[in-house]
Amino acid sequence: MRKTAVVLAFALIACLVAAQDEDMSKVQMKVTKVSGNVYMLEGAGGNIGASVGDDGIVIVDDQYAPMADKIKAALKGITDKPVRFVINTHYHGDHTGGNAIFQQTAPIIAHDNVRKRLEQGGTGGNKGGVSFESKPASKKALPIITFDHDVTVHLNGEDIRALHFPSGHTDGDSVIFFPKSNVVHMGDDFVTYGFPFIDLSAGGSVEGMISALEDIVPKLPADVKIIPGHGPVSNLDDVRRYITMLKDTKAVVEKALSRASLLIS
Ligand SMILES: [Zn+2]
C-alpha cells in the first residue's frame, strides 16, 4: 500500500517535470458541471475550477501553457463571456503553466508565496527521493495581485474566497470557496491518487496539511462538492477518509523512525 503511494508520488513528479516538454496536442478537455455555476475542467495537470455567470468567468488554476487554447475552447463551450480573473492554488507548474497566456487578458491572483516562488524558481521536492527544478518564471506569468491571508472576488453573484493555509502541500496554498454554488476547490491539499506529494523544500508539511483540512471540514455543509487538485469531484467523506489516511501513514512512519532510533542508540 505504502509502496503504491510512493510509486504514485513519483509518477506525479514525473508528470510535473516532464509535462512541459510533452506533446499535449492529443489531450482532450473534459468539462463537468459540479454544482450551481461552478464547472470543473480536466485536461493535463491540475483540475481547473470555473465560476461561470453573467459577469464572466473566474478560473482556479490554468494547467500548462500548451493547454491554454484547449482551456479557452472548453470555456467557450459553456459561455461567450470572457475570463475575468485567474486564481492560483499554489506555484507548481501543472497549476500555473498557463499564467502568462491568461494574464494577457485577466489578472492572476495568488498568495504572496506563489509569486515569490515563481519569481525565484528553485528546487522543490520531499527532501527524499523526489526533487525537481523550477526555472524562474517570466514576469508575465507572475500573479499581479497577491494577498497574505485571504481575498474575495465578488462576481457572478458569488463571493469567491481564496483562503491561505500555511505549510500544507507548499507554503503558498489557497483553498477556494464558492459558497453560493456550494463548491470548494482544495488545490493539492486534497488529491485522490493516494498519499500526496508534499513539497517540503517549498515549505510544505504533512502536519500542516492535516490541520488545514481539519480546520476546513467542520465548516462546510454536508453536501458540499469538492474539487481536488487531481482526481474526480469528491465529497466530505472522501476528504475525511483522506485525513485518516494521512494520520495513519504519519503514525506508521513515526513509529518506524522511533524504532530505528532505539536500534541506533
Ligand atoms: Zn502541486
**Eight-state DSSP code of residue 106:** S
Determine which of 8-17, 56-65, 163-172 has the lowest per-residue pLDDT on average. Answer: 8-17
Alpha helices in 97-178 (DSSP H): 99-102, 112-120
pLDDT in the model for residue 264:
67
Distance from Cα 140 to the centre of ligand 1, integer Å: 21
Distance from Cα 257 to the centre of ligand 1, integer Å: 26
Distance from Cα 124 to the centre of ligand 1, integer Å: 10
Kindly state the cell numbers that stand for 173.
496554498
Percentage with pLDDT > 90 across the chain: 84
Residue range 126-145: mean pLDDT, rounded: 93
pLDDT in the model for residue 258:
85
Distance from Cα 49 to the centre of ligand 1, integer Å: 15
pLDDT in the model for residue 257:
85
pLDDT in the model for residue 1:
42
Please determine, for residue 259, whether its predicted confidence score (pLDDT) is greater than 50: yes
Distance from Cα 4 to the centre of ligand 1, integer Å: 19
Enter the pTM of the model.
0.91
pLDDT in the model for residue 2:
46
Q: How far apart are CA 201 and CA 170, in angstroms?
A: 8
Cross-strand bridge partners of residue 40 = 32, 49
Distance from Cα 169 to the centre of ligand 1, integer Å: 7
Alpha carbon of 23 to those of 45, 65, 84, 99: distances in Å?
A: 13, 12, 28, 19
Q: pLDDT, tens digit, for every residue of 85-97?
A: 999 999 999 999 9
Distance from Cα 95 to the centre of ligand 1, integer Å: 7
Residue range 192-215: mean pLDDT, rounded: 96
Q: pLDDT, tens digit, for every residue of 14-57?
A: 455 545 556 899 999 999 999 999 999 999 999 999 999 999 99
pLDDT in the model for residue 21:
56
Q: How far apart are CA 149 and CA 110, in angstroms?
A: 10
Distance from Cα 264 to the centre of ligand 1, integer Å: 35
Q: How far apart are CA 233 and CA 240, in angstroms?
A: 14
pLDDT in the model for residue 261:
76
Calculate ∠ Cα 132-138-142, nearest 5°.
90
Q: What Rg do the C-alpha atoms of the chain give, in angstroms?
A: 18
Mean pLDDT of the chain: 92
pLDDT in the model for residue 17:
52
